[in-house]
Structure 1
């Protein structure tokens, strides 16, 4: 990658983050449009029971998450050796096509299939974009590079999701998805225009990338992420009843609560990136402590509007800060499987998405109240911290990567930690 002017570097980083903005919008906008999608796609079930129709429409969200989980390791393993700019362009174009397909699919079943296909490039895009951003920003700023790419996703929760949700409520969910496809088309054009050529890893093979799964520390990092994000999504998935049933506010406060949560995520993401650059594993432990404190603030303050909004801001900030820290930790422990490591964080995040929503629904159905998912988030922090500690133990005796792990791997050299001892 040739040396770029500061202005060109900023444009390249913006292009990468714009893709993240589109991804964040397409991933979360369905949550606000589920009633509209249910009414349109399963009308007979809607007439019989709107609740069951909305539950059925939830498969659309699940299908996207399943596509992310399946696509992240598979695509990352396949494309690691190819030029980064080319891969990013193809992935952004695939998002465009998949989102258009989601908008025009005629039946519920074909929409579910289209959402699964649209989710496949998600993890690989973020992973490869993080590697490119790390090279653009230079040595010692890996965590901040990850955070910059993820900033598009967090800002989407502040701007993109509310805006596209409003469009969908006014014009229909299909035009809303076409608008998201327009974001991806703009992202594709921006990558072509502004992201410099960046070589892939010529020594990468699918087998070498998949060797990441042979490392216990990688599995512990993935479990740490899934459990941490699971605690967050247990709260996120049930913000609406938390606002109306626990705080006692009207539904008009729900969009405000979601914007406040998104603002917390945006701020926390950049804080997490800076902390990760000072030591990814240490940051994970620190941020779990902050996450626990944030959940306690939300539990204590949810009875009032100021307490609710403060708690949601802190919960969003702490959870988002964990993401670049965990992704950087994965890159620390994955050896030369850097593309795989950078993508796997998003599989963990979407497993956490499904886990938090599922378990949160169980505790609510058990009659424990709408604050129960927040308590669940606290419970999930315990095994999350245990997994982080086991990951530290698994690498405590490391003395550095073997020659076999580092031969000729530009990405590993560019993103390797400064010391092999977990920090």
Structure 2
């Protein structure tokens, strides 16, 4: 099959592209939304938190409650809600309605990711599950590399509302492809109680905590990256889409590199990458007002921010062998906990200490994530290591 993407997989990948663009594009539009709705930049930044809050609530709850729903009708319902949420964002008459629309759009995202991975695994030929899942996950990287800067460009030139219309249109097109090409699969058949039981596992809890804390610094900076690059870095607003493209290119490279490093040495590689991420954030604080340095560091930040994600997902999947679908959704919620708190934390720092203060604060919380990773590494060395995926009856899949 080579590099050819089958139509069913491509349709799911296109949905992921739309959802990812809808999630991250607001970071490049925060100043535009703030000006358009006559609210402060920190208030506009809370729109990121609203989307994240929707994912946090929707991930575990919707995944558990819909465990007995067939995958194709479930995918259809989830995508329809996302489309309506983005159209509501485009038509919102004021800040409160926009906040609610972003929350609704975020509700379905974590569950869709989980169901899309399970569906792709079911469609893949024997032994080809990892490569098929990687192709679906390519939609996330493309959403960051292409969708976010293009959406920011559209928002700057045609108004921020037009960006959400475009996201809704792309996602709706993807749904039509899903309806045409993705075969019907039965529900997993597990009960809600059975699915939720995985949350009591201590190793799952530690893995989710690592995801939430370890990502907090990077997502805090990314939430306000447009403001940081213009106010602290001295770039013109027109340069932000280009720099988001640079960030996205780093994210693609980091995702691939992080997955390979995690295959070789999961927790040691996570520890080293978290340490490098903290150093990068401190370098942004020191040299981020130099445009050349800021551009280079933007690429490095994107690479490291996404290099840590494959290993974090693998750790949770390894621990939660009994309910891998819910584990994917809950870990996505852990990431969004970081995004939600990051939007609030960054807003407080912008209002008080100023834009430059975000970098050392982000470095500090990243070091806290490093502390959790080192504690988990010590547990592994003491023999408290989760069993490998294959030993717990799971198909070995690439979580990215």
The two structures share one fold, judged by TM-score above 0.5: yes
1:298–1:310: 8 Å Cα contact kept in structure 2?
no
Aligned mate of 1:333, from 315, 319, 333: 319
1:153-164 alignment runs, 5 A limit: 153-164=140-151
Match of 1:421 in 2: none
Displacement of 1:296? 4.8
- Cα distance in structure 2, aligned partners of 1:399 and 1:161: 36
* Structure 1 unaligned residues grouped into runs of 5+: 47-51, 407-411, 418-423
Match of 2:251 in 1: 265
1:261–1:312: 8 Å Cα contact kept in structure 2?
yes
Displacement of 1:110? 3.0
Match of 1:75 in 2: 62
SS of 1:413's equivalent in the other structure is coil
Aligned mate of 2:359, from 366, 374, 383: 374
- Residues 16 and 79 of structure 1: is their aligned pair in 2 closer, same or farther, counting only changes over 3 Å? same
TM-score of the aligned structures, taking structure 2 as reference length: 0.85
Match of 2:118 in 1: 131
11-20 or 164-173, larger mean C-alpha shift: 164-173
- Residues 114 and 323 of structure 1: is their aligned pair in 2 closer, same or farther, counting only changes over 3 Å? same
- Cα distance in structure 2, aligned partners of 1:55 and 1:234: 12
Match of 2:77 in 1: 90
1:147–1:272: 8 Å Cα contact kept in structure 2?
no
- Residues 220 and 182 of structure 1: is their aligned pair in 2 closer, same or farther, counting only changes over 3 Å? same
SS of 2:237's equivalent in the other structure is coil
- Residues 148 and 293 of structure 1: is their aligned pair in 2 closer, same or farther, counting only changes over 3 Å? farther
- Cα distance in structure 2, aligned partners of 1:334 and 1:312: 34
| Cα deviation digits, residues 82-132 of structure 1 (max 9, x gap) | 443442233222212222233334444333222211111011111222333
| Cα deviation digits, residues 277-319 of structure 1 (max 9, x gap) | 4454444234324423433554454243222111111111111
1:58-69 alignment runs, 5 A limit: 58-69=45-56
- Residues 71 and 316 of structure 1: is their aligned pair in 2 closer, same or farther, counting only changes over 3 Å? same
Match of 1:111 in 2: 98
1:126–1:343: 8 Å Cα contact kept in structure 2?
yes
- Cα distance in structure 2, aligned partners of 1:291 and 1:36: 29
1:71–1:123: 8 Å Cα contact kept in structure 2?
yes
RMSD of equivalent CA atoms: 3.2
Displacement of 1:77? 0.9
Tell me if 1:352 matches 2:338. Answer: yes
Match of 2:23 in 1: 27
Displacement of 1:231? 1.0
- Residues 376 and 273 of structure 1: is their aligned pair in 2 closer, same or farther, counting only changes over 3 Å? same
1:244-393 alignment runs, 5 A limit: 244-278=230-264, 280-299=266-285, 301-367=287-353, 370-392=355-377
Q: Count residues in correspondence.
A: 394
TM-score of the aligned structures, taking structure 1 as reference length: 0.81
SS of 1:397's equivalent in the other structure is coil
Match of 1:225 in 2: 211
Displacement of 1:333? 0.6
- Residues 9 and 196 of structure 1: is their aligned pair in 2 closer, same or farther, counting only changes over 3 Å? farther
1:8–1:194: 8 Å Cα contact kept in structure 2?
no
* Structure 2 unaligned residues grouped into runs of 5+: none
Displacement of 1:338? 1.1
- Cα distance in structure 1, aligned partners of 2:268 and 2:121: 20
